[in-house]
Structure 1
Amino acid sequence: MSSVPVPAIAHHSLLVFLLQLALLLLLALALGQVAAWFKMPAIVGELFAGVLLGPSVLSHALPDFADWLLPKQPAQMHLLDAVGQLGVLLLVGVTGMELKFDLVKRRGATAMRVSLAGLILPLVLGVGTGLLLPASLLPGDTDPMVFALFLGVALCVSAIPVIAKTLVDMNLLHRDIGQLTLAAGVIDDVIGWFLLSVVSAMATTGLTTGKIATSLLYPVAVVLFAVLVGRPVVKIALRAANRSADAGPTVAVAALIVLLGSAATHALGLEAVFGAFVCGVLVSTCGEPDREKLAPLRTTVLAFLAPVYFATAGLRMDLTALTRPAVLAAACAVLAVAVLGKFAGAYAGAKLSGLGRWEALALGAGMNSRGVIEVIVAMVGLRLGILGPETYTIIVLVAIVTSLMAPPILRAAMARVEENAETELGMGAGEPCDLAPQPPATV
């Protein structure tokens, strides 16, 4: 019996999808550039592009056009979501490829103390806050403990891309403070993705003792498999691709590795982004590909797929929810806990390492940036049903506000660090402080 061919996508559905994609990309790029002009992270403008087209603005201003452009049919929106998922997986993979573990080796114990203190305190405070938030903010079938654990993970992460861009803009990338912040951020990233995968697995399978054990063991097994089996395979594949003078094979192999890793962890019930991150790290640490050959992949992801992804993330935000007193109060409480936890944790870790209070404050300011990573975490929570529209909006707002806070606080703290150094060493205003520059590191 001959099989019936799958019908092609309908003419109208394809038209709507192409217009959605084009309009989101146009607004994301334009508003991202506007944000950059005002010295804000581009992600702020990219998210706002989605906010303009979503329930916060367009649905109120032009409801008929909004219903036509963003119809409620799941199949239509799944087309846009598929592009967004591809974008976020490759973005996380590229982030893994960009991590520099030599920073961690050079900064060692200090980076570890700052990172762990800056992780544990907001994690604990986030879990406690999640348990205290009104049950009305949670989706009906969400386990309160799973939600609390997820909120804790969302509040403990940091965003390497935002941190690195801030440090570059302020000429701090190769200073001791910049190097320590990035090294601690690398550790944050690794632990954060691991915790996200664990909590996501718990949300999928439940909180029985056996399921919790499985949720903890699976990510460990994935990492061990990546080190013992994936490492030599990736090295062979990249070495073969690098023999070509053209960048195409290297880009294709790197993307293939990330996508296969994502599929593997997704099949295990873990988050696909965890596999993408692990494979990105593998490409960076064992393949050692020519970075010039990977440049086309980074450009495509950062200039096209990532802006579209963050614009689709903005579509899910509903800022009108903040007009409700309960939601606004919850947003203020979560933001306060996020900032206090990260600042206090990083500050404590820095002081334990013998750094001064202004250096510790600078580290706290850098680590407080959550940007890209927290938006990805929020989207994962929304997709898994752990977050509702209100809690999703709250977490994305935390990502935006903390990223906007970092530059002015970091600038003020570093000014005091240099003033103190000049006072103690009798230096002139134009001379460098005691935090000597380090050899350049690519981020």
Structure 2
Amino acid sequence: MSAALSAAPVPTLPAHTLLVLLLQLAVLLLLAMALGRLAARFHMPAIVGELLAGVIVGPSILSHVWPGLADWLLPKDTSQMHLLDAVGQVGVILLVGLTGMELKFDLVKRRGTTAMRVSLAGLLLPLVLGVAMGFLLPKALIGGDTETLVFALFLGVAMCVTAIPVIAKTLIDMNLLHRDIGQLTLSAGVIDDIVGWFLLSIVSAMATVGLTTGTLVTSLLYPVGLVLAAYFVGRPLVSLALRAANRSESAAPTVATAALIVLLGAAASQALHLEAVFGAFVCGVLVGTSGELDKEKLEPLRTTVLAFLAPVFFATAGIRMDLTALVRPTVLLAAVAVLAVAVLGKFVGAFIGAKMSGLGRWEALALGAGMNSRGVIEVIVAMVGLKLGVLGPEAYTIIILVAIVTSLMAPPILRLAMKRVDDNAEAEMGLTGPGDPQLAPKQPASV
């Protein structure tokens, strides 16, 4: 057998396949960079421009304007597109890992029960409304032979997530990060992020292996087991690895170690039939909370991911959008309904949580605006749903639209609300305790 293997080695990548891949990456990166900067110039999240890059070269525009070029650049060959997907998947795994590294758990401790109330109310209401909406939407939006219950649960998860990177960037741009409302929004978002990733892993497991009693049990136990293993076994190993990497003055060992930990976590999660991004997030948190991490040495990894891999991922996400589907009245009505549920659920939920904590209506409105930003996380959830076959192309397009619209809504509503919030009102309502410092974290990496 060994002779047979040596006589027939694995063939190398065909020259034309490599050429197409390189041009795909070059075109998507160029458009994503240009449109991302254009979006930022108009005070919009860069992700809007990066998604639009994929929309331009995808079925929404280029396939109609220049079908020959579209077919050459994005051929229907599955193996060719899988290569582009692989680059995007590495990008999103490292992006999620970086997100976990940058979560600030001290914010949650400082804001305590107020952050918890706002977060849970802003998470549970859109989750329930999203699940109910999943049962009401046309069956045509469900991918393949997916169970309606799984689709409904997945839609609920998509409705309840929030996007820390977009929130933080918006607060920085508006000079609100040092304000107590800004800090409370971020701390509530951290809780939403953690719960959202956990729910995504559970629903993804259900979609992968089907709905049975055993599946439901393992879908709950596997994520819990992974988190416990990461905490009790992974945490000391991560600290040991980072301590060894810190002995070098160069940033290279720290970058390689952090990336390795995230990739291994993603692989472990994938092996358990959970989504790879869940393991990446858990291991990112391990790296970020380790006392051995020198965060300045992570800058090269952050730059590579945010300047190259993440824009390519978002552009590939845009490729799979088909805006022409919105011409059909059924799909358009479904899009309006899902967007309304997403926005209403977050605003009302956050408003209820804020009022329960004794905050005023304008403070509650500001919190709702911040928590309503879906951005990066929503796009990742949508890509997971499409990959698992839970979402059809139309449902995928609708969820990406929710990510874009909610991210665009945040700045103007925040600006309106914060004009009516007195600088001293937050302290008077108990958001700031004696000696509680006003933090001014650095601008987050992923925007």
| CA distance 1:347–1:283, shift in 2 (3 Å) | same
Amino acid across the alignment from 1:40: M
Q: Is the 8 A contact 1:93 1:281 kept in 2?
A: yes
Q: Match of 1:9?
A: 13
Q: Is the 8 A contact 1:206 1:212 kept in 2?
A: no
Q: Is the 8 A contact 2:144 2:389 kept in 1?
A: no
> 1:251, 1:420 → 2: CA distance?
42
Matched, 1:319 2:320: no
In the TM superposition, what is the alpha-carbon distance from 1:139 to its structure 2 partner? 2.2
Q: Match of 2:144?
A: 140
Q: Is the 8 A contact 1:157 1:374 kept in 2?
A: yes
> 1:11, 1:363 → 2: CA distance?
53
The aligned length equals 433
> 2:220, 2:300 → 1: CA distance?
36
Q: Match of 1:359?
A: 363
Q: Percent identity, please.
A: 77
| CA distance 1:420–1:239, shift in 2 (3 Å) | closer
| TM-score for the superposition, normalised by structure 2 | 0.95
Q: Match of 1:128?
A: 132
| 1:4-403 map, 5 Å | 4-403=8-407
Amino acid across the alignment from 2:439: P
| Alpha-carbon displacement from aligned partner over 1:134-173 (angstroms, at most 9, x marks no partner) | 1122123011110000000000000000000000001110
In the TM superposition, what is the alpha-carbon distance from 1:418 to its structure 2 partner? 2.6
Q: Is the 8 A contact 1:238 1:287 kept in 2?
A: no
In the TM superposition, what is the alpha-carbon distance from 1:440 to its structure 2 partner? 2.7
User: 1:416 is paired with a residue of what secondary structure?
Assistant: coil
| CA distance 1:419–1:177, shift in 2 (3 Å) | closer
> 2:129, 2:183 → 1: CA distance?
27
> 1:151, 1:437 → 2: CA distance?
39
Q: Is the 8 A contact 1:174 1:437 kept in 2?
A: no
Amino acid across the alignment from 1:149: L
> 2:89, 2:194 → 1: CA distance?
20
Q: Is the 8 A contact 2:58 2:318 kept in 1?
A: yes
> 2:424, 2:327 → 1: CA distance?
45
> 2:290, 2:388 → 1: CA distance?
33
**Any unmatched runs of 5+ in structure 1?**
425-435
In the TM superposition, what is the alpha-carbon distance from 1:416 to its structure 2 partner? 0.9
> 2:292, 2:133 → 1: CA distance?
42
> 1:137, 1:382 → 2: CA distance?
11
Amino acid across the alignment from 2:309: L
Q: Match of 1:427?
A: none
In the TM superposition, what is the alpha-carbon distance from 1:439 to its structure 2 partner? 3.0
Q: Match of 1:439?
A: 439
Output the aligned Cα RMSD: 1.6
In the TM superposition, what is the alpha-carbon distance from 1:12 to its structure 2 partner? 0.6
> 1:412, 1:271 → 2: CA distance?
38
| CA distance 1:172–1:437, shift in 2 (3 Å) | farther
| Alpha-carbon displacement from aligned partner over 1:393-432 (angstroms, at most 9, x marks no partner) | 000000000000000000000001139959x9xxxxxxxx
> 1:337, 1:120 → 2: CA distance?
13
> 1:417, 1:241 → 2: CA distance?
46
> 2:9, 2:257 → 1: CA distance?
31
**Runs of at least 4 residues of structure 1 off by over 2 A?**
418-422, 439-443
> 2:190, 2:425 → 1: CA distance?
28
In the TM superposition, what is the alpha-carbon distance from 1:382 to its structure 2 partner? 0.2
> 2:179, 2:292 → 1: CA distance?
26
| Alpha-carbon displacement from aligned partner over 1:345-375 (angstroms, at most 9, x marks no partner) | 0010010001001000000000000000000
Q: Match of 1:429?
A: none
Amino acid across the alignment from 1:187: I
